[in-house]
Amino acid sequence: MINILVLYFDFVSSNLINFLVSSKYSFFVNQILSLDILNFSNIKFDLALLFLPKQSNIDFVPVLMALLICAKPVIVLDPSQNHKNKATSRDSGAVAYFSYPVSIDLIDKAILKILSSFETLFYADLKINTKLCTAYRNNINLKLRKKEFDILTLFLRFPNKVLTKEFI
């Protein structure tokens, strides 16, 4: 079962509600009421859907960063169709961005494609399977602690990018 974390500020479409009810996925839905406490590490999820607020004056980047710290893919859905939000989402590390209205089938296909690509990461002679939590270098199994594995996975998800201490 694929576990999806759904976060929203002020709006969730009725299409999404129907998708959640009739879906093959397991969902954990949470409204963001405050930007003060953003810790998602205690929630087991494979992918996050972040619904941006209708009002463009709310900064969603802290939420996106808190999700990315968990080294899981994030899909951003935006009711405002704001090009700045799209650029910010992509620059911050979201793997996909959709503006409303968007078909549920398109979201479903994106989820499956993203999860299949996120399962195995490669860099030079390094191979990581995020589902099995295994890492190999030159086909030799690396014995990594959870934190080491998570940090290595984070670096492989953002190759050639400088990650701040706060982000890591």
75-120 residue pLDDT tens: 998 888 788 889 888 888 888 999 877 888 888 888 888 887 777 7
Amino acid residing at 48: A
Asked if residue 72 has pLDDT above 70, the reply is yes
Asked if residue 16 has pLDDT above 80, the reply is no
Q: What is the length of the chain?
A: 168
Helical axes 61-68 vs 83-92, angle rounded to 10°: 30
Amino acid residing at 27: F
Q: Are 72 and 50 in contact (CB under 8 A)?
A: no
**Residue 144, SS3 per DSSP:** coil
The two three-digit tokens of residue 158, written as one number: 């953002």
Q: Are 94 and 48 in contact (CB under 8 A)?
A: no
End-to-end CA distance of the chain: 28
Per-residue confidence (pLDDT) for residue 43, from 0 to 100: 84
Q: In what order do the strands lie in the sheet with 26-31?
A: 26-31, 3-8, 47-51, 74-78, 96-99
Burial class (CB in 10 A: 0-12, 13-18, 19+), 134: middle
Alpha carbon 120 to chain centroid distance?
16
Asked if residue 22 has pLDDT above 70, the reply is no
Amino acid residing at 62: P
Asked if residue 21 has pLDDT above 70, the reply is no
Q: What is the tens place of the pLDDT at every residue in 23-63?
A: 677 888 888 877 766 788 788 888 899 988 877 777 888 88
Residues 59-69 as b or e (16 or more Cβ within 10 Å = b): ebeebbbbbbb
